[in-house]
Amino acid sequence: MNLDLTEEQQMLKTSARDFFEKEFPKTLVREMEEDAAGYSPAVWSKMAELGWTGLIIPEEYGGSGFGFMDMVILLEEMGRACLTGPFFSTAVLSSLFLLEAGNEDQKKGLLASIANGQAIMALALTEPSATFRADGINTTAALDKGGYVIKGTKLFVHDAHIANTLICAARTRSWGPASESISLFLVDASSAGLKITPLQSIADDKQNEVVFDAVTVPAENLLGELNGVWPVVERVLQYSTVAKCAEMAGGADWALEATVEYSKERVQYGRPIGSNSSVQHLLADMWLEVNMAKRYMYYAAWLLAEGLPCAMEIAAAKTTVNEAYKHATRMGVQLHGGIGTTRDHDMGLYYRRSRQAAILYGDSDYCHEVVARQMGM
């Protein structure tokens, strides 16, 4: 196992950092928090031109043909930049579902549109139960006159308000195990009976409630095998968990570096606060936690990319990154003093995102339960 970046990966990392520093300053982050759409079409177009929206899409479908480890590197820089917008929903989640479950027509049509920046997609998976288990899906899809009629409510759907197409998970039969009763559907966001309502969150990350009130979709919009797609959902959730860890690790890295620099510059009682041993120990703890979390994340990403069993490692990475990101931003706020508590300070952006991201794809309690089960407990 070699986790060193290749020359090409280092170039991707460097170019991404330069791009976001120039094109997505914190002033724009704040503007996007207040903006109803929550993203910059200009920045989105530029990312598409760079090939990033199609990074993991094979060249035969119009993408860049890079691997998952390359996406991890890019997402780490996006997390560091506090990027807002539909990249995760579209270029990560939706691309993975289409690659895993799509037929040739669906891949050629939608993957090409994602790669060139024209398509914005969202995953409608979670419901009021707020679980990522098959038995938490109660939305139904019934066959009717050659199509499917979807009824139910989805919550916490990121970027649904700007999406062209939704991927909806629904029960397609009422008997048997839940894991053998779930299907996926491609739903046009302009369909009759579809209602999208924005939800407020601590991170202003554009989550939505999506109500399917007898929404009809053509039979050819079935994505993957009827009643047999849950293993695909589980695989994609593994990838998305590691991808979210990468974003969070980038944010934690920024919080650490910003706090170290501030501690060198902030003078109290005639000397920098970083010269105090108590502050140095806090910063050392932050460095240890953040870098350990990044190593867990990269190890889990490597196992996943190699197709090796890694349920325990993914859960370990998620809980480690959860706590490292929360701790880094908490200490960042504390060491910045009063200014760090304000909404106008950059640290506050990362503090709020760390709290929101920690519950996505498994909070720390859930991850500990997964690790315990993998230990045979």
Mean pLDDT, 10 residues at a time, the chain of 377 residues: 86 97 95 94 97 98 96 98 97 98 96 97 94 92 93 97 98 93 97 96 92 97 97 97 98 97 90 91 96 96 95 97 97 85 85 94 92 91
Task: Name the 3-class secondary structure at 151.
Answer: strand
Neighbours of 79 (CB within 10 A): 26
Q: Give the tokens for residue 333.
A: 């706020």
Neighbours of 128 (CB within 10 A): 13
Beta bridge partners of 153: 211
Pairing mode, strands 147-154 and 165-171 = unpaired
pLDDT at residue number 202: 86
- What angle do helix axes 346-357 and 311-336 make, rounded to 10 degrees? 150
Percent residues over pLDDT 70 in the chain: 99
- What angle do helix axes 41-49 and 7-23 make, rounded to 10 degrees? 160
pLDDT at residue number 337: 82
Residue 207: closest CA among 371, 321, 118, 89: 89
pLDDT at residue number 203: 87
CATH number of 231-374: 1.20.140.10
- What angle do helix axes 230-265 and 277-305 make, rounded to 10 degrees? 160
Note the pTM of the prediction, 2 decimals.
Answer: 0.95
**What are the residue ranges spanned by the domains of the chain?**
7-119, 123-228, 231-374
Domains 7-119 and 231-374 share a fold: no
First to last CA, the chain: 29
Q: What angle do CA 15, 16, 20 make, to 5 degrees?
A: 120
Amino acid code (one letter) for 234: E
Q: Under a CB-based contact definition with an 8 Å cutoff, are residues 76 and 17 in contact?
A: no
Amino acid code (one letter) for 189: A
Beta strand ranges found along the chain (DSSP E): 121-124, 140-144, 147-154, 165-171, 182-188, 194-199, 207-218, 222-223, 267-268, 271-272
Burial per residue of 343-376, b for 16 or more beta-carbon CB atoms within 10 angstroms, e otherwise: eebbbbbbbbbbbebbebbbebebbeebbeeeee
> pLDDT per residue over 130-159, tens digit each?
888 899 999 999 999 889 999 999 999 999
CA 126/CA 261 separation, integer angstroms: 40
Q: Give the tokens for residue 136.
A: 């938490």
C-alpha count within 13 angstroms, C-beta hemisphere, residue 25? 2
> pLDDT per residue over 319-365, tens digit each?
999 999 999 999 999 998 877 677 778 999 999 999 999 999 989 99
Phi first, then psi: what are they for 196, rounded to 5°? -120, 125
Overall CATH class of domain 7-119 = mainly alpha
Q: Under a CB-based contact definition with an 8 Å cutoff, are residues 350 and 332 in contact?
A: yes
pLDDT at residue number 334: 92
Q: Give the tokens for residue 365.
A: 């309690």
Phi-psi category of 195—alpha, beta or left, where left has phi over 0 and alpha has psi -120 to 50?
Answer: beta
Beta bridge partners of 150: 141, 215
CATH pick for 123-228 out of 3.40.50.720, 2.40.110.10, 3.30.70.920, 2.40.30.30: 2.40.110.10
